């Protein structure tokens, strides 16, 4: 008897939450990350020199990683955009590539087999 009442109470509170959610959905501007960027660092765990800070808007056709400061050095990446970031082993989006998922952080590119190799990248939105 007691168990049944508890179950009913849980169901009712669940309904209340569902109804509240329908009346007050989170607005799109609230839930979307504010102007997210992708950032790339020389060393693991987002340390060392930060060589890249780019958004899909300022890098619509892909971007080069600077030949002196960044090529074959990137070891960690924070992708705070809503797009996949495709890293390429060579300049001009050549060579092998690896996809870094939207909204994901990669503290050590060695774990995805791409440490100290990226030379260019594109957003896949």
Structure tokens at 112: 């995805």
**How far from 13 is each of 16, 32, 68, CA to CA, in Å?**
5, 28, 59
By CB neighbour count within 10 A (0-12 exposed, 13-18 middle, 19+ buried), where does 76 fall?
A: buried
Q: Coil, helix or strand for 50?
A: strand
Q: Which is nearer to Ca ion, 83 or 117 (CB)?
A: 117
Q: Which is nearer to Ca ion, 17 or 53 (CB)?
A: 53
Q: Map residues 27-56 to x or -, x wherever contact with Ca ion holds by CB under 5 A.
A: ---------------x--------------
* Span near Ca ion by CB under 5 A; candidates 10-18, 23-31, 49-57, 81-89: 81-89
Residue ranges in contact with Ca ion by CB under 5 A: 42, 64-65, 71-73, 75, 89, 91, 116-117, 119
């Amino acid at each position: 008897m007691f168990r049944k009442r508890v179950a009913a109470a849980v169901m009712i509170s669940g309904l209340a939450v569902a109804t509240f959610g329908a009346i007050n959905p989170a607005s799109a501007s609230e839930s979307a990350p504010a102007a997210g960027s992708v950032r790339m660092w020389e060393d693991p765990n987002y340390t060392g020199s930060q060589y890249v800070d780019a958004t899909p808007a300022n890098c619509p056709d892909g971007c080069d990683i600077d030949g002196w400061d960044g090529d074959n050095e990137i070891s960690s990446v924070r992708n705070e955009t809503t797009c996949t970031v495709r890293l390429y082993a060579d300049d001009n989006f050549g060579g092998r590539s690896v996809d870094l998922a939207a909204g994901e952080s990669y503290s050590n590119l060695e774990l995805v087999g791409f440490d100290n190799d990226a030379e260019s990248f594109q957003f896949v939105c």
